Amino acid sequence: MNSIDVLRLLPSVDQMLRKPEVQDMMERHARATVTEALRRVLQETRQSIMEDEYNGEISAGAIEGRLVRALDERLKKESRGKLREVINGTGVVIHTNLGRSPVAEKAVDDLARLSGVYVNLEYDLQSGGRGSRHDIVRDLLRDITGAEDCMVVNNNAAAVLLVLSAMASGKEVIVSRGELVEIGGSFRVPEVMEQGGARLVEVGTTNKTYIEDYRRAINENTGLLLKVHTSNYRICGFTRQASREELAALGREFGIPVVEDLGSGMFVDLGEYGIGHEPTVQDSIRSGMDIVTFSGDKLLGGPQAGIIAGRKEYIRKIAKHPLARAVRVDRLTLSVLESTLRIYAESERVVERIPVLSMLTMPVDRLKRRAERLVELLAGIEPYAEIAVETEYSQVGGGSLPLERIETRVLSVQPKSMTLNQLEEGLRMANTPVIGRIARDRFLIDVRTVFDHQLPVLAKMLAMVLSGGGDR
């Protein structure tokens, strides 16, 4: 049969639409969607027939069967959302590009229960009058952090901008030169300051700043003293920064508020798990900071949010600023945040129940077992790849604890019939995308950031891509 003969066997759009399998598809998808997809499938099939991909004997029935399968595949692909589950095999626990923190199971359940109905977001059930959305997590945050008052906004960048706008607009803000950081995604302290209408006064040097440097810079225009946690880098060696206690005392002496941007908001000290020290929010409040801001979705392991904690008088002023309305938090975030905070406030097993903390503190023998389970699930892969469990190091990510390298286990894959780049691309484009990395001439999947329930899917995607199989 030549191409022309095969083309004659192709059914028309109308013929295809009458087929029971296609009728079934129209129960699940809009008629126009099915018709459009069908036109494209027919067009592509015509193209491949012309390119001689259908040579040999083929029947009309076989062609129709192929068309139905191709149509089904296409509709499935088109109807899946843009935002999809991916398997994080990078070992970077707080991976900003992969959504930072997966939230606790309890938070997911609560969100599912509350997001599709009305809630008392700004409604006081006791009085029947208007309530404040800030009341939802205020008590929880006060209990956990020890702060007098708290509020929540869209993210920490917004929190810093709002605090500066409300507390220091038109005034001078004193910051150490060693703390003028840029956070990923072009959040630069000097630029945020400018947006907030505050004038930056830099003191000290990159590696050393003394409390006397701040004192000398204070004048009648000083609005606040700002401390920024240098989350994503460390200045090592001959260094010094003024302590929180020194700053708090200086602020009190002159009646100037002291604000700290903590970046990652930690409530528990992971020091006992051998993971480097990151100051907790409680530390910061206790040492006398008037206002502290931090993220909800970094080491806290909750939703994207910016939390502002500190003295009541300042929180009141910040909440009244016009910008507060522009950066206000939504109810889906508040739901997830409340559930997450409840785990911190009430649970004995916090580290176990907050996914990012559980991943960071996972013992090596558990990681080893997880990697070995993956090897078992990949039984029979030898013709396509050499696989092994190897020792590597995970990172915290999210600009937190940049120097920390945490021992982990990875599945290392050496494909036999494709390049590493082809494997990487195949996994990235798979039905459930798998993100790993190429290093030392191997493809590495760090099991620390893979959930146990994802292991079978991960194995299936690997087997499919390595064997060059379909259904991707």
- 218 vs 226 by CB, closer to ligand PLP: 226
Among 49, 103, 183, 359, binds ligand PLP (CB under 6 A): 183
| Nearest-approach distance from CB 230 to ligand PLP, in angstroms | 7
- 305 versus 423: smaller Cβ distance to ligand PLP: 305
User: What is the H or E stretch that residue 200 is in?
Assistant: strand 199-203
> At closest approach, how far in Å is the CB of 288 from ligand PLP?
19
∠ Cα 165 168 171 (to 5°): 130
Judged by CB under 6 A, the chain residues 108 through 147 that form the site for ligand PLP are none
The closest of 316, 307, 325, 303 to 263, measured between CA atoms, is 307
Structure tokens at 22: 């296609």
User: Per-residue string for binding with ligand PLP, 277-296, x by CB under 6 A?
Assistant: ------------------x-
468: left (phi over 0), alpha (psi -120 to 50) or beta: left
- Binds ligand PLP (CB under 6 A): choice among 102, 196, 251, 306: 306
Among 110, 246, 260, 261, binds ligand PLP (CB under 6 A): 261
By CB under 6 A, name the one of 279, 355, 399, 415 that touches ligand PLP: 399
Nearest-CA neighbor of 300 among 338, 243, 258?
338
| Closest C-alpha among 350, 400, 391 to residue 95 | 400
Query: Which CB atom, from 104 or from 266, has the smaller least distance to ligand PLP?
Result: 266
- Rounded distance between C-alpha atoms, residue 351 and residue 354, angstroms: 6
Q: How far is the CB of 181 from ligand PLP (least distance, A)?
A: 6
Burial category of 320 from C-beta neighbours within 10 Å (exposed 0-12, middle 13-18, buried 19 and up): exposed
426 binds ligand PLP (CB under 6 A): no
Q: Which residues contact 165 (CB under 8 A, 6 or more apart)?
A: 195, 196, 197, 198, 321, 323
- Is 182 among the residues that bind ligand PLP (CB under 6 A)? no
Q: Among residues 397 and 436, whose Cβ is nearest to ligand PLP?
A: 397
Map residues 214-243 to x or -, x wherever contact with ligand PLP holds by CB under 6 A.
Answer: --------------xx-x------------
Would you say 176 or 264 has its CB closer to ligand PLP? 264
Restricted to residues 313-342, the positions that interact with ligand PLP (CB under 6 A) are none
Residue 252 CB, nearest approach to ligand PLP (Å): 24
Looking at beta carbons only, is 400 or 412 nearer to ligand PLP? 400
Asked if 163 contacts 318 with a C-beta cutoff of 8 angstroms, the reply is: yes
Give least dist CB 12 to ligand PLP, A.
Answer: 54
Nearest to 261 by CA among 238, 237, 232, 302: 232
Nearest Cα neighbor of 447 from 369, 348, 331, 354 is 369
How far apart CA 47 and CA 53 sit, in angstroms, is: 9
Q: How far is the CB of 351 from ligand PLP (least distance, A)?
A: 21
Residue type for 414, please?
A: Q
Measured between alpha carbons, how far is residue 310 from residues 161, 209, 295, 394 in Å? 16, 25, 15, 34
Nearest to 415 by CA among 462, 371, 448, 365: 462
Min separation Cβ 161 and ligand PLP, Å: 9
State the Rg of the chain over Cα: 28
Query: What binding mask, one character per residue, do residues 148-167 give for ligand PLP by CB under 6 A, x or -?
Result: -------xxx--x-------
**Do residues 394 and 93 make contact, with C-beta atoms less than 8 angstroms apart?**
yes
CA distance 205 to 455: 49
- By beta-carbon proximity to ligand PLP, the closer residue of 233 and 254 is 233
Q: Give yes or no for residue 187 binding ligand PLP (CB under 6 A).
A: yes
CB of 266 to ligand PLP, least distance (A): 11
CB of 29: closest distance to ligand PLP in angstroms? 38
CB of 183 to ligand PLP, least distance (A): 4
Q: How far is the CB of 191 from ligand PLP (least distance, A)?
A: 12
Of all residues in this chain, which one has the CB nearest to ligand PLP in the complex? 263
d(CA 401, CA 361): 14
Considering only 263, 301, 397, 426, the residue that binds ligand PLP (CB under 6 A) is 263
Query: Judged by CB, which is closer to ligand PLP: 233, or 393?
Result: 233
Q: 373: part of which helix (H) or strand (E)?
A: helix 364-377
Q: Which is nearer to ligand PLP, 256 or 327 (CB)?
A: 327
Query: Which positions touch ligand PLP (CB under 6 A)?
Result: 155-157, 160, 183, 187, 228-229, 231, 261, 263-264, 295, 306, 399
